[in-house]
Chain A
Amino acid sequence: MANNIIVQLKLLPQRLLAIIIFLLIWEIVPWVGLADPSFVPPASATFARLWELLLSGTLLTQTSISLQRAFAGFAIAVVTGIPLGFLVGWFKTFEKYMDPLLQTFRQLPILALFPVFILLFGIGEISKIAMIALACFWSVFMNTASGVMTVDPLLVKSARSMGASHSDMFKKVVLPAAIPAIFTGVRFAGTVALLMLVAAEMVGASSGLGYFVLNAQQRYASRDIFAGIVALTLLGVIINYILVTIEKKATSWKEDIVHG
């Protein structure tokens, strides 16, 4: 374990190199006049602003509001998407009837539904959470269903030959076999959640990071815009890191561990 950490630390400069170069370019471009610093503030100014926002508490307030929305939508999607995915994947007839409808629904541009959601749920939290949940749902649901459908028939055969009952088959074969696909769906849903969050907060909200960025644009506060974007990106990186870690734990038996 300790060894592992040392190896990781040794690799750190290598892994950070590209990011450092990117930050340097970002820093230099406004300084040498390739971009107008009042529209594109240099990296240092952006991070300085981010630090200010963190100290003043604005950043934490907005982030926690955003996170609550994203998490609520994401959680609803996971809790509904996984069981429904199993249902559709496991029961062939169900899948046969549902597939055309699902394929159509999947193509539904969810942002276009936002006005409908506002009509239905009002401008409050529910419409935003519903939108995030719906967008995340497809990713979780589709991946779960395909994971269940693509369970190696040979493994099912093998389990059957060893006297596995229906419930054993589900618990000991289908569920573990589908887990990698489920996690792919969940991880993607994490990305989608953040994307939809920003969209929803920009369209109709008076708080949250998405609103913060849009509001900053209206105030011509370019440093705030960039600070907000950096904050959102960091949030995405952290969420993805958490999900990848959980995924690695759950699929430690796999040869190739997916990097996020």
Chain B
Amino acid sequence: MRKKWTIGGIISGTIYENIAQITPKNELNCQLLLIYIVSYMTRIIRETMTKIKAENIKKIFKIRSNGNSKNNGNTPNELLALGGVDLSINKGEFVSIVGPSGCGKSTFLDLVGGLSKPNEGNIYIDGKPVNGPGLDRGIVFQQYALFPWRTALGNVEFGLENQNVLKKERTEIAQKYLSLVGLAGFENRYPYELSGGMKQRVAIARALAYDPDILLMDEPFGALDAQTREILQRELLHIWEETHKTILFITHSIDEAVFLSDRVAIMTARPGVIKKEMAVPLSRPARFEDDIRTSQDFVKTRYELWGHLKEEVVKAQQICANTTANLSLEKPVTTLEKVMTT
């Protein structure tokens, strides 16, 4: 028996020797058993490593057709938004989904968030199927979704209230997270008194405050100007390093995806499936260097991703053009009806 002097080799070697002692009769049998045990263990390890697992997720949307019988034959009443998405994300991993607009990225995120149910397939978190929203997942939306009648502090406290945390403790935690996102001193401002970037910081603090394992981010920086976006991207990396969250990040920017994530998944045009997954070959410290976006690895990864994404974007535009052509017949009717009834 050959022994490899690696840690894995030592472990499997001892296991092998132990097994050989129990059943010394047939070395081949032992080897098969060993292979079985090792593969079983790796599966267990992989499963315990996996935080989010999506299996063959399909989502169908019903399109309202307003009894326009002429059109019923041509346009389907059902729209397949997701056509069987498979994706698994490890604990503490930062995974981005990029895809053309309207491909169902946000739909998928909603499903993981438990805000809607898939028509087919299952999503597991820590091996348990998702049955609605929960405080183990925090969602950050593109449009901030802050409660305008609450101050920054009040907004961050929202999730904690539902966890029955005492008022004093709530305020302390909320203040801690507001300073984590660089908003100490802005506790008593209302959302209308904050800039877009600040609002999104509050939203991130709010999602972090109740300490979910998973952060689901739906194009969180999409509505921000370029400078603010870059600053917040860096801060998100810092926050991620500090808090060790598992992050699922939706974006349409390849640049953003490469800069932030460990792994990038490309989604196809409707019906959305994961077309390709790519690991990003950038070390964590390297990402904080100033010229990272012009480094060879970065540019190469981005270029490759764009190659995969390009045809999907073209396809998505065609789908979009077809849909509007079909809908344009119905649209005036609906609006008119609305006007008449209200």
Of the candidate stretches B55-63, B147-155, B241-249, B318-326, the one touching chain A is B147-155
> Chain A, 237-260, contact with B by CB distance < 8 Å: what is the 0/1 string?
000000000000001011100000
Instruction: Determine if A157 and B192 form an interchain contact, defined as CB atoms under 8 angstroms apart.
Output: no
Give the number of A-B contacts (CB < 8 Å). Answer: 61
**B-binding residues in A (CB < 8 A):** 103, 152, 154-155, 157-165, 168, 172-173, 176-177, 179, 251, 253-255
- Say yes or no: is B137 at the interface (Cβ < 8 Å to chain A): yes
Provide the residues of chain A in CB contact with B210, threshold 8 Å: 162
Chain A: interface secondary structure? helix
Nearest CB in chain A: distance from B138 CB, A: 7
Which residue of A is nearest B110, CB measured?
A157
Smallest CB separation, A148 vs chain B (Å) = 15
Contact of A163 with B162 in the complex, beta carbons under 8 Å: yes
**Given A160-B133, A161-B113, do A254 and B162 touch, yes or no (CB 8 Å)?**
no
Query: Known contacts A163-B159, A163-B162, A253-B150; is A158 also within 8 Å of B145 by CB?
Result: yes
Return the contact of A176 from the options B149, B161, B163, B206 (Cβ within 8 A). B149
- The answer on a CB contact under 8 Å between B134 and A157 is no
Give min CB distance, A4 to chain B, whole Å.
Answer: 18
Interface: B158 (CB within 8 A): yes
Cβ–Cβ < 8 Å partners of A158 in chain B: 139, 141, 145
Binary contact readout B85-109 vs A (1 if CB under 8 angstroms, 0 otherwise): 0000000000000000000000000
Known contacts A161-B113, A162-B162, A173-B147; A154/B134 CB under 8 A:
no
Task: Give the chain B neighbours of A155 by CB distance below 8 A.
Answer: 145, 147
Interface check B143, CB cutoff 8 A: yes
CB neighbours of B206 from chain A (8 A): 162
Among B138, B149, B150, B191, the residue within 8 A (CB) of A161 is B138
Which of A103, A160, A173 has its CB near the most chain B CB atoms (within 10 A)? A160
**Which residue on B lies nearest to A100, using beta carbons?**
B341
What per-residue 1/0 map shows which CB atoms of B186-210 lie under 8 Å from chain A?
A: 0000111000000000000010001
Q: What B residues does A152 contact at CB under 8 A?
A: 145
Task: Check A254–B115 contact: CB distance below 8 A.
Answer: no
Cβ-based interface call for B135 (8 A): yes
**CB <8 Å contact, A154 and B133:** no
Contacts of B138 in A (CB 8 A): 161-162
Residues of A within 8 A of B113 (CB): 161
If over half of B's interface residues share one DSSP class (helix, strand or loop), that class is named, otherwise mixed; here it is: loop
Decide if A253 touches B134 in the complex (CB within 8 Å).
no
Q: What chain B residues lie within 8 Å of A177 (beta carbons)?
A: 149
Given known contacts A157-B115, A161-B115, A162-B210, A176 and B162 CB-to-CB distance under 8 angstroms: no
Q: Which residues of B contact A163 (CB under 8 A)?
A: 133-135, 159, 162-163
Give the complex CA separation of A154 and B142 in angstroms.
10
Contact across chains for B137 and A176 when beta carbons are under 8 A apart: no
A253, B192: Cβ atoms under 8 Å? yes
Nearest-neighbour CB distance to chain A for B237, whole angstroms, equals 23
CB pair A154–B143 under 8 Å, yes or no, is yes
Q: Which residue of A lies closest to B148 (CB)?
A: A253
Contact between A161 and B139 (Cβ–Cβ < 8 Å)? yes
Q: Which residues of B contact A159 (CB under 8 A)?
A: 147, 158
Q: Are B145 and A157 in contact (CB under 8 A)?
A: yes
Minimal Cβ-Cβ distance residue in B for A153: B145
B113: min CB distance to chain A, Å: 6
**Which of the residues A103, A161, A164, A254 comes within 8 Å of B148, measured between beta carbons?**
A254
**Which listed residue (B135, B141, B158) contacts A154, Cβ 8 A?**
B141
Give the CA-CA distance A85 to B269 in the complex, in Å. 43
The chain A residue with its CB closest to the CB of B206 is A162
Residues of A within 8 A of B139 (CB): 158, 161
Does the CB pair B192–A172 fall under 8 Å? no
A-B contact pairs, 6 of them (CB 8 A): A103-B341, A159-B147, A160-B115, A172-B161, A253-B150, A253-B191
Given contacts A172-B158, A253-B190, A254-B192, A161 and B147 within 8 Å (CB-CB): no
In the complex, the chain B residue whose C-beta lies closest to that of A175 is: B149
Residues of A within 8 A of B143 (CB): 154
The answer to whether A161 touches B137 (Cβ under 8 A) is: yes
B residues near A253, Cβ cutoff 8 Å: 148-150, 190-192
